[in-house]
Amino acid sequence: MMKEKMDVQKAVELLQGLYAGRLDGEERELAEELLKDEGVRRVYEELGDDETLVEELRRYGRFNPVRGRIVFEKRLQRQRMLRWMRRLAAAACVVSALGGGWLLWQERSGEPEVVVATGTAGVGENALRLRLANGEERIIGHDLQDVIQEDGNMTIAIEGGNLSYGRGADVQGEKVVAGYNELYVPRGSECSLELEDGTKVWLNADTYLKYPVRFAGDARQVEIRGEGYFEVAKDGRTFSVQAASGVVQVMGTSFCVRDYEGEPAMTTLVTGKVAFVAPGGERLELEPGEQAYVATDGRLEKREVDVREFTAWREGWFVFREASLEEVMQMLCRWYDVEVFYQSPDIQEMRFTGNLKRYSTIETFLKLLSVPCEIKYTVKGNTVVLYK
């Protein structure tokens, strides 16, 4: 019994490894032997296609492992082990990919390779709102291409909903005015911007950022409410991010800040070194792969985390690690600009682990979610209702 189970698991591992480009030698030959089955090859070749994934999930999502094992044993008696193993491998591969922990995240040499284009602002219909230093407010849609002349002899280049700040030639003897801009990214949108000092920032849905049009003095500081990923340019000055949960102090590094009202706040370090300082003065120094976690009651702790879980959103992925359905839906509601209601409150604590590509509509995701977990849903306008 154990041998047959191991054979199926090995087949799944081989297909996943081949898809991710990790196999060579004998393992690659074994995987290619599996692909001689037409059904297995079709699933393998179309793993990146959304419609195929949904179709295969419907087909295999109600796969019963107990009944499958009985049938498997009978087929073994008929000397058809290899062919049946291939079919089981295809089913297990798809079910694992859609409901478990692999989910089409490819890796080579330990670095994730995303197979979908990065999303930008205006993917939905919700435009960005930019308040200039003079108080004027601009609406920025995904199709806007423009150059705005700002205070302090600065320009803002806008393309595809993304912003880049540039400095004009200084006029000798003229005092530089260091005003502030305020950018709001609504639910259903995201954007990226490059600040005047070269720092790059990616902002997730429902996020507010306040920042100088031009950094002056020995310190650089911005203010955020929501979620942003920062790649700070080194120029000898300190850089700090002010959030409701505390202040992140850096010199030059990359990190993610998540600080939504009513939710735990998290500062996750990707590279370099930062210090997180809570409002009461408590200080944590972080190394790459560590996170400053602030609970809703203000409790502060340091955690070791998989940084992909907190940064993959900027590359078009949702990554979950033992996340409750309520936590999953919080992220989805911001991106798809919907509200969710639970007719069966107990399902809010169901746990999910996996990596899912971000789809153009929430219904695609709900279809993937509903079959293996026996969750049903209805969508009416911007309202999603979940129930058993």
pTM: 0.67
Say how far apart CA 170 and CA 166 lie, in whole Å. 12
CA distance 124 to 141: 10
Residue pair 120/142 in contact by the 8 Å Cβ criterion: yes
What does the pLDDT look like over 224-266, one tens digit per residue? Answer: 999 999 999 998 899 999 999 999 999 779 999 999 999 999 9
Residues 306 and 327: their CA atoms lie apart, in Å, by 17
Residue owning tokens 């026996």:
374
Per-residue pLDDT of the chain (388 residues; tens, 9 = 90+): 333 333 545 665 676 667 556 677 788 888 777 777 665 665 555 544 444 434 444 444 444 444 444 444 444 444 444 444 444 444 433 333 333 333 322 333 333 322 222 223 333 457 899 999 989 999 988 788 889 888 777 889 998 778 999 876 554 545 555 689 999 999 989 899 999 999 999 999 999 999 999 998 889 999 999 999 999 999 889 999 999 999 999 977 999 999 999 999 999 999 999 999 999 999 999 999 999 999 999 999 999 999 999 999 988 888 888 888 899 899 889 988 999 999 888 888 888 887 777 777 888 778 777 765 678 888 888 899 998 8
Residue pointed to by tokens 């150059």: 147
Residue spans of alpha helices (H) in the chain: 2-19, 25-34, 38-45, 50-60, 65-77, 81-99, 308-311, 325-336, 362-373
Q: Of 167, 171, 170, 172, which is closest to residue 213 (Cα–Cα)?
A: 167
Rounded CA separation 59/40 (Å): 14
